[in-house]
Structure formats: structure tokens, C-alpha cells
Homo-oligomer: A and B are copies of this chain.
Amino acid sequence: MSKRPVNVGEWPEPVPAGPAARLRRELARGTTELAVLSVLASQRRYGYELMKRLGQAGGGVLEIKEGTLYPLLHRLEDAGLITAAWEAEGRSRPRKYYSITPEGRAHLAVLRAEWAALVEAMGHLLDEEPT
């Protein structure tokens, strides 16, 4: 497509690429680390795979861009929360697989708890004033 599909008429349903995108980005901010670690907790993945996977989950709310993902992975690696390993798999272009470390799991647990607390607090707040 080169120019972007864009959905000339309207959005069929997912894809709120308007001003709502700013909102979404701000809201979802900080959750990417949790999302990434959470996915890596069940099994190792390579970067691109991770990106696609999160992009599909939940109607795109968790979408993460390359310019966000790769720096994030490097930060996590530097922090010792994940480890990286190039894997050839019989292809000339190897993939870089990331695995979570024990420290990463501990960190994930904290993040999950923090997230749960936030969701609960916001839930109470929002329930106070119905729709």
C-alpha cells in the first residue's frame, strides 16, 4: 500500500486512529513494560513477534510500535529482567529471542500488583459516578 490503507470511508470497527489515538497512547503508557514481561513470562519470543502479538490482542489497545519496543527491550535487558540470544534456526538472518529472568519474574509480580491496585482504585472512582 505504501501510503497506508487508511479506510477511506470510515473505520469498520477497530482502529481509532483519530485524536482518540493520543488518548489511548497516554492511557496505555507504562503498561507496555508489563505487557511485554507478561508475554515473555509464558515463553520466549523475538521482538517482531512480540510486536505483532501485542498489536492483535484486545482490539489493538496494546499496540506497540517498533520505535518503542526495541528501546524497551534493550532497557529491560540492561536491567537484567530479560536476556537475549540470537538464534539461527537454519536461516541466514537469525532472530533475537528474549527470555525472562528470575529478576524479571519478580519485577513482573510487583508490576502486576501495582496494576491491580490501580485498576481497583480507578474502578471505585468510576463507579462513584455512573456513566
Contact = CB atoms under 8 A, between A and B. Distances in A.
A45 to B, nearest CB: 13
Interface of A: 20, 23-31, 33-35, 38-39, 41-42, 57-59, 61-62, 109-112, 114-115, 117-122, 124-126, 128-129, 131
- Which DSSP category, helix, strand, loop or mixed, fits chain A's interface? helix
B119 A119 contact: yes
A124 B28 CA distance: 15
Contacts of A118: 24, 27-28, 31, 58, 61-62
Top 4 A-B pairs, shortest CB-CB distance = A58-B121, A26-B30, A27-B30, A42-B129
Given A58-B120, A62-B118, 20 more contacts: A20-B110, A20-B114, A23-B110, A24-B114, A26-B29, A26-B30, A27-B30, A27-B111, A27-B115, A29-B29, A31-B122, A38-B125, A38-B129, A57-B124, A58-B121, A58-B124, A59-B117, A62-B125, A109-B131, A112-B131
